[in-house]
Structure 1
Amino acid sequence: MVTLGTEKFQLISARLLGVPGTLVGILQNIRKFVDQTKYNWDEICVCLLADGRTRIDGRFNNLVALQRMGIYVDLEEMYRENGLMDIHGRIQPIDRYNFDNVDDKRASRTQPRFTVDNGQTVYVHLFENVINYENYPPLQMMFALKEFNAGKLDTHLWFFEGFAHHIYRVMNERAPPGVNEELYCVCLDAGTRPEETAIVKLINAMDKDRNVAGCCGEITVDKALAPKNVFYNWYVASQDFEYKVGNCLDKAFESVCGYISVLPGAFSAYRWSALSPPELGATSDKRPIVPYFKSVTHGGVINPFYGNMYLAEDRILALELVCSRTAANTLKYVKNSVAVTDVPDSCAALIKQRRRWMNGSFFAQIFALWQGLLLFRIFTTRHSWFRKLILMNELLFSALNTILTWFLVGIFYLTFIILWNSFLIDGGDLRFPGADAVYIVIQFIYLILMFTTFLLAMGTQPDSPRRSLRALYKLISLIFGVYMVATFAVAVYNVVTSTQIVLMAIGLAAVLSYILVAILHGEGHHVIINYLQYTFMSPTYINIFQTFAFCNTHDLSWGTKGLDSNDVSQKDVQAQRNEFRTYLVLCWAISNLALIYGVTSSTEGTSGSATVLAISANSFMYFVLGTVVFFNGVKSIGSLLYLIRYWFGRLCCCCSCGGKSAELTADENVKNEWKAYRQSEKLASGGAGAAGGGLEYRGFLLQGNSDWRQGTPHDPKRLKQLPITPETAVSDRV
């Protein structure tokens, strides 16, 4: 499944972007499947879903490009008088009236433009074709163009409960007796390009272990951006550091435990029998996939807590899979299964993205703790008791991380003022005349920045049309970055000049933990090169992103649809959301202020004209660095265990497969058996079906059949053609 929202369908010089880049990556993986695994091309189908006909970015160019690929026909031509739909008798007088008199601006669910069969609303325009690209196996492709925009989650609903559900049923109805066919669903966002064997490795991970219900690979920053943007654009560089550390520490640790808190929708894979266990029935509400769509299928208005939680609906699906009572499901991180994506390269885009991520992950973590521990769901699964113990400890670890996240702004401020106090006012001994005044000015500027950030978060958007507001966000981020670099230098000075060897060791461990783990995973150069940029951006991540996120919990614009279909008026719903935002921000601000007051008020004294914090800077550094070392230490142990298991598995596979990678070793007996069975099916049906190569729209054949063997890599006459290039794959030749 490839979801198309606002991504552009374009090819700029040698870089593949948007849909072409994603399709090229898929084609490369299909070639690996066909050439070196047990799967054939006709077992793979690519479904491209566009969220809203009138909302596609660059609508005209996108649809023209798809039309050149052979997977789309102009709807205006199809529905006009004497068009294909009219010829086949689908257009009645009321349908003709709607098409001629309702324009795209006025079209809605209650007044649709495209109707068939005497007023039946068309919700999805579905096209199917088998496309032959040069030097690639045939591509079975479906293009589902949603008539109305309803969000990404609604698009996933169409795919999982519509297409995947139907394909799984048909697959098993047509399978040989005694064979239970498995359906694997790979999710990609348009613009995310999987590398040549990325999807192969995801499928192989689920093939080798039937308990793996879902898995994800490594999402990385587009290397084509380097070195210009990755090094000089610190927004991109900090994300590169964050992604690498997140994969090496978080994903590897969670994979060892068996529960990955989030399988990113941009690049992940699921086992359909785990999402919808056959023993529960195709329409059962107890299937793990049902809660995933609650924000879309819920009849009423979802309260703000659940609304924010469903901004990270991927986390809910991961929890439901692991807590399923029908199987001992686990989730897995697949190392070296890499997909390249474009990341936000501006302050405004990054703030808005992190608002969704932070709010969704925070409330989803609370929900996971409530469901998994307090409701004992983790103990009702079919996992072994050892696995249940590991999962329980992982959830407890997540609870500590959630508490730390809540108080992170206060802890960051305390770290800042205590370090500067110990540096400028060392127990009342001023480092230089006027050091106390400098300390007050530094502290005052920091508070002004926080106050300004709070006001901006409450009343403005980072992508405001007002240039001054956009510049103000960038200015605050810049000043915070300068503060952070200076504070980091002060912290290093305090640790180095400290006579306490233990403190120096803890500080060194806190700094090097990221680098050492990344080096072991083979990603050390990314972390080392971008460490300074991430340090510079740290206060932006903590202060600006978190403040903006909590101050915008009333904004549920990502995961939920509009309010028009609900009985409650929009004003009442918005008032409820604003009330939730108000109480949440009050609790968050008061608790962090209470922490700051509790630490500073009882320890503050005076020495002459200098304000002195009686609490030892070393003592507080013990707490801060110790917390960092604890969290990173636990994750590092899990990451090392993951590496040991990973390399041990590769060693065993190399020994058993004669040096070949296990995921690229084909079972020729199974492959030949299935080929013979499929061929017999095609002969029995007269050669009709998906292999015909014709474009179909809602069951009507629009182009003639063609033999897929002609003009494909399987045709020996074409093996000596030009080398494979990405540009060839997205050319107009079909």
Structure 2
Amino acid sequence: MCLPNSKSKSHKHPVWAEENSWQKVVICIVADGRRHLHPSILKVLASMGCWQEGVAKNQVNGNAVQAHIFEYSTQVSVDSKMQLKGRTIKNSNKHHYPPIQIVFCLKERHTKKLNSHRWFFNALCPLLKPRITLLTTAGTKIGDGSLFHLWEAFDRSPHTAGACGEIRVAKGLLWWKVLNPIIAAQIFEYKISSVLEKPFESIFGYISVMPGALVAYRYEALLPEPTSGKGPLTAYFEPDYLVFSDDHREVGEVLQYSYFAEDQILPFLITTRANAQYTMQYVRSAWAETELPAGIGSFLGMKRKWQNRRFFGLIYAVSHVRAIWKSGHNFFRKLWLTLEMIYLGCDTAFWFLALGNYYLVFYYMAESLANAAGITIGETAFMLTRYIYIFLIVVVMMISMGNQPRGHSLYLFILSFIFFACIQAYILFGAGYLTFLHATEFLPYANWQSFSTVVAVFKAAGYHVLILALVCCYAVYLISAILYGEPWHMIACFVQFLLLLPSYVSVLGVYAFCNMHEVNWGIKEPEDHEKDPLISRDAIYHASTVLMPDDQHVSSSYQDAIDDLDRKRRPKSSVRPISSSSVLPVRSGVSAPLLPQNADDTSNANITAKVTRKDDIKTMQSDYYRSFRTRILLLWIVVNGALVITISSDQLAPYLVLSDGSNLYVTIIVWIITVGATGRFLGSLIYLLGWIWQLIRR
């Protein structure tokens, strides 16, 4: 990690070359729910000394426990093969394992990611007072030296307040996972993001999508203002405050676009802080590897969350563009950021109209192909595919409303993916066929020795712009991949991504908008737990006795954890129930007074009223989510429907036909895509030159 070792560049840095540099790093692990945590994780932590079985209780003095915090500096680690490594382990003395400070925060209840972030930033960070905070998720494999490169980005510039690295996809041995088109399309998508989108946005100083698997923030940039008491974390944690309080404010006053954007509002709030010049940065040298969903059901579930977060994050940023001019940036940086917001606004609007635009491209391409010479059943095929297209859009919308992609609905989603892949192949074939058909009319008269004649023949071909745009986009992707030294995904994954591209628009887009009200991945209503059986109540003195494990039990539990790792045995159940008979040996009894017995009877009415009030707030929130979803969904349907009806109307159609037989609107759409890809390429090239210059300066 950021600690010095013989293979890392960090040992050359004066900050990390010191012998006690390990004291500058603290690893905080926040586990979301004691009963939702897999026992094998606790075994690993116990073997490292960061967890002790039998200590955690869910009640103290009759009050519910919110979390359990363990702190330990360990020199023992567990590798991917579940083998212990460290100085104190036999045959491991040849390895250099400096101490690692670990803080393990085990939440008693499963209250989701947003509350976990709140525990980290609002409970642990004020005690640790870190300079840099780095966030990652469970299941992410951070690359060698990546943490140091992220820290180095903050060390080089005091204005850098946020940084992220590249997210790579686990491809398996010999890239066998590429055989799955779902994974192949995601590999291509992630690579394009790392070589085009992230570098392009990084040169502006604001990154619209910071990956949660590898992102770091400067802690002082997150702190609230001393005068107003408001800051980036205040707006970010507002939904969690609402869930855990009895606030009766209208939900709509609190849960605006920032709520649906979730953690994607943090970069914008940091960049636009008053009296500050903070920027976001993409660090090419830092990377992390993660697993991606391989099935359509899990793919839709994950991408739905990501797409809605990105959409509402962009809406929030673009709608608050005036905040840029209230920040502490200089005039040119403000102008530069404003230009980026204009680009992001156009990109958001283009994505919002993607459903209608793609249908119009299909409509005019299929219509031109149906009217072309040599196609006898073209008109019948055009009508049939058009009706099936519209029917599947309606079906996808119906099965997406409140349904999960499993069971019978999953088969309909799979059928939709296959159909839209065939539609994409049909469009590509139509563009190539029409271009060839129109070009052959000029071949007998063409003078191929003249370049201008060749250009004229190509321009005369119908839909030559579509072919040109496709070639330009592929060239941009290929050249960028070659410059960044990663061209292999262009060879192995481009075809799969191209065929699944319409499903991103017509299936994933519909599913995301129909389920945008399901934002409970970040927050969850606190759940009730039964009293821990390790807490007994005295009937006479009305006191609770917390049974603590003695030294013999602690040693036995540690040895059990070691033996379990050696056997590499996986538990059959993710939750191990605690029976009332498994009472631990008592080392010391801790008694605490409880409420009198009659207090339970007299407070029943108050408890019932409190539960009813929370149920009302929860119902109000759920109603607001669904109402908000309905309004956005109706707006999306009306706008895209009006676009399709207007552009494809018989009254407007004659004015959209160009001299070569192609459609003016399709030409405009294609040119927008081409210009956008070219602009991202130029920005990526500027970033790459700057990155190379930094490597030379080192």
What range describes the TM-score normalised by the shorter chain of this pair? 0.7 to 0.9
The farther-off stretch of 63-72 and 393-402 is 63-72
The answer on whether the counterparts of 2:10 and 2:148 sit within 8 Å (CA) in structure 1 is no
* Cα offset, 1:28, TM superposition: 8.9
Q: Equivalent residue for 2:309?
A: 360
- The equivalent of 1:328 in structure 2 is 277
Select the residue among 228, 232, 237 that pairs with 1:293.
Answer: 237
1:234 pairs with 2:185: no
CA deviations on 1:438-475 (whole Å, 9 max, x unpaired) are: 1111212212221211111124211x3x3x22222112
* Structure 1: unaligned runs, 5 residues or longer: 1-24, 80-112, 169-181, 607-611, 654-734
> Aligned partners of 1:64 and 1:248: how far apart in 2?
40
The separation in 2 between residues aligned to 1:495 and 1:319, in whole angstroms, is 45
1:63 CA drift (Å)? 1.7
Aligned mate of 1:422, from 344, 358, 368:
368
Residue 259 (str. 1) matches residue 212 (str. 2): no
Q: 1:111-134: CA deviations, max 9, x gaps? A: xx6223x33432111111111133
The 8 Å contact of residues 2 and 145 in structure 2, kept in 1 or not, is answered as: no
Residue correspondence of structure 1 range 127-526 to structure 2 within 5 A: 127-133=70-76, 134=86, 135=95, 136-168=97-129, 183-224=131-172, 226-229=174-177, 231-276=178-223, 280-281=225-226, 285-298=229-242, 299=245, 300=247, 302-303=251-252, 306=255, 309-372=258-321, 376-426=322-372, 430-462=373-405, 464=406, 466=407, 468-495=408-435, 499-501=457-459, 503=465, 505-526=468-489
Return the offset for 1:307: 6.1
C-alpha distance in 2 between matches for 1:342 and 1:26? 24
Cα distance in structure 1, aligned partners of 2:28 and 2:625: 36
Q: State the Cα distance separating 1:593 from its structure 2 match.
A: 1.0
**Equivalent residue, structure 2, for 1:543:** 506
- The letter for the 2-side match of 1:139 is I
Check the 8 A contact 1:312/1:364 in 2, yes or no: yes
User: CA separation in 2, counterparts of 1:164 and 1:212?
Assistant: 19
| Cα RMSD for the two superposed structures | 2.6
Task: Give the structure 2 partner of residue 711 of structure 1.
Answer: none
1:385 and 1:506 map into 2 onto residues whose CA distance is 36
Hey, what's the Cα distance between the residues in 2 that align with 1:30 and 1:371? 47
Q: Secondary structure at the match of 1:536?
A: helix
1:591 to 636, 639, 643: 639
The answer to whether the Cα contact below 8 Å between 1:310 and 1:559 also exists between their aligned partners in 2 is no
Cα distance in structure 1, aligned partners of 2:382 and 2:656: 12
Q: Could you tell me how far 1:308 is from its partner in structure 2?
A: 6.2
State the secondary structure of the residue aligned to 1:143: strand
Please tell me whether the aligned partners of residues 646 and 652 of structure 2 are also in contact (alpha carbons under 8 angstroms): no
* 1:385 shift after superposition: 0.8
Shift of 1:141: 0.9
State the alpha-carbon separation in 2 of the partners of residues 119 and 30 from structure 1.
52
Q: Report deviation, 1:621.
A: 3.7
Deviations 1:593-651, CA, capped at 9 Å, x for gaps: 11111111135889xxxxx9957425344212201012112211211111111112222
Q: What SS does structure 2 have at the residue aligned with 1:516?
A: helix
Q: CA deviation at 1:575?
A: 3.0
2:186 counterpart letter in structure 1: Q
Q: How far is 1:573 from its partner?
A: 3.4
- Asked if 1:625 corresponds to 2:666, the answer is no
Q: Name the SS of the counterpart of 1:290 in structure 2.
A: helix
The DSSP-based 3-state class of the residue aligned with 2:136 is strand
- SS across alignment from 1:47: strand
Name the TM-score, length of structure 2 as normaliser.
Answer: 0.76
Distance 1:307 1:150, change over 3 A: farther
Unpaired runs of at least 5, structure 2:
77-85, 87-94, 440-456, 527-610
What letter is aligned with 1:331? M
Whether the 8 Å CA contact 1:192–1:340 is kept in 2: the answer is: yes
Query: What percent of counterpart residues are identical?
Result: 29
Tell me which amino acid in the other structure corresponds to 1:451. Answer: V
Cα displacement (A) at 1:590: 1.4
| CA distance, structure 1, for counterparts of residue 5 and residue 504 of structure 2 | 36
CA contact (8 A) 1:515 1:528 kept: no
In the TM superposition, what is the alpha-carbon distance from 1:513 to its structure 2 partner? 1.9
Question: How many residues are aligned here?
Answer: 560
Preserved contact between residue 245 and residue 527 of structure 1 (Cα < 8 Å)? no
Per the TM alignment, residue 305 of structure 1 is displaced from its structure 2 partner at its CA by: 9.1
TM-score scaled to structure 1, two decimals? 0.72
The CA deviation at 1:41 is 1.3
Q: Is the 8 A contact 1:28 1:196 kept in 2?
A: no
Shift of 1:539: 1.4
CA distance in 2, matches of 1:605, 1:287: 52
Structure 1's 29 and 441: CA in aligned 2 closer, same or farther, altered over 3 A? farther
Q: Closer, same or farther in 2 for the Cα pair 1:224/1:404, shift >3 Å?
A: same
Distance 1:309 1:539, change over 3 A: farther
Which residue does the alignment assign to 2:626?
A: 578
The 1:46–1:570 alpha-carbon spacing in structure 2 relative to 1, beyond 3 Å, is: closer
Contact kept, 8 Å, 1:41 with 1:139, in 2: the verdict is: yes
The more displaced of 509-518 and 33-42 is 33-42
Partner-residue secondary structure (3-state), 2:275: coil
The structural deviation recorded for 1:186 is 0.8
In 1: Cα distance, 2:73 partner to 2:7 partner: 15
Report deviation, 1:407.
0.7
State the AA in 2 paired with 1:154. Answer: N
Give the AA of the match of 1:345. Answer: A
Please identify, of 284-293 and 256-265, the stretch whose mean Cα deviation from structure 2 is larger.
284-293
Q: Which amino acid aligns with 1:460?
A: N
Q: Whole-Å Cα distance in 2 between the matches of residues 595 and 633 of structure 1?
A: 26
CA distance in 2, matches of 1:304, 1:452: 35
1:644 to 681, 685, 689: 689
Summarize the alignment of residues 674-689 of structure 1 with structure 2, pairs less than 5 Å apart.
none
Q: Deviations over 1:539-588 (max 9, x none)?
A: 11111111011111222222233397747344443333322222222221
Which range is displaced more, 511-520 or 328-337? 511-520
> How far off its partner does 1:527 sit?
2.6
- The alpha-carbon deviation at position 323 of structure 1 amounts to 0.3
Change (3 A) 1:288 1:378: same
String of CA shifts for 1:223-274, please: whole Å, max 9, x gaps.
3365221x21111111110011011111101100001112222111111121
1:68 partner amino acid: S
Distance 1:343 1:305, change over 3 A: farther
CA contact 1:510–1:625 (8 Å) conserved in 2 = no
Secondary structure, in 3 states, of the residue corresponding to 2:110?
Answer: coil
- Distance, in Å, in 1 between the alignment partners of 2:238 and 2:210 is 18
Preserved CA contact (<8 Å) 2:369 2:375: no
The Cα shift of 1:424 comes to: 2.2
Once structures 1 and 2 are overlaid, which stretch shifts more, 407-416 or 497-506?
Answer: 497-506
Query: In the aligned structure 2, how far is the partner of 1:305 from the partner of 1:404?
Result: 28
Q: Which amino acid aligns with 2:229?
A: D
Structure 1 SS opposite 2:68: strand
Show the counterpart of 1:42: 23
Measure the CA separation in 1 of the matches of 2:117 and 2:496. Answer: 36
Q: Deviations over 1:104-158 (max 9, x none)?
A: xxxxxxxxx6223x33432111111111133232221111100011110110111
* Cα deviation, residue 493, structure 1: 3.6
Give the AA of the match of 1:492: G
Using the TM superposition, give the Cα deviation of residue 313 of structure 1 relative to its aligned residue in structure 2, in angstroms.
2.3
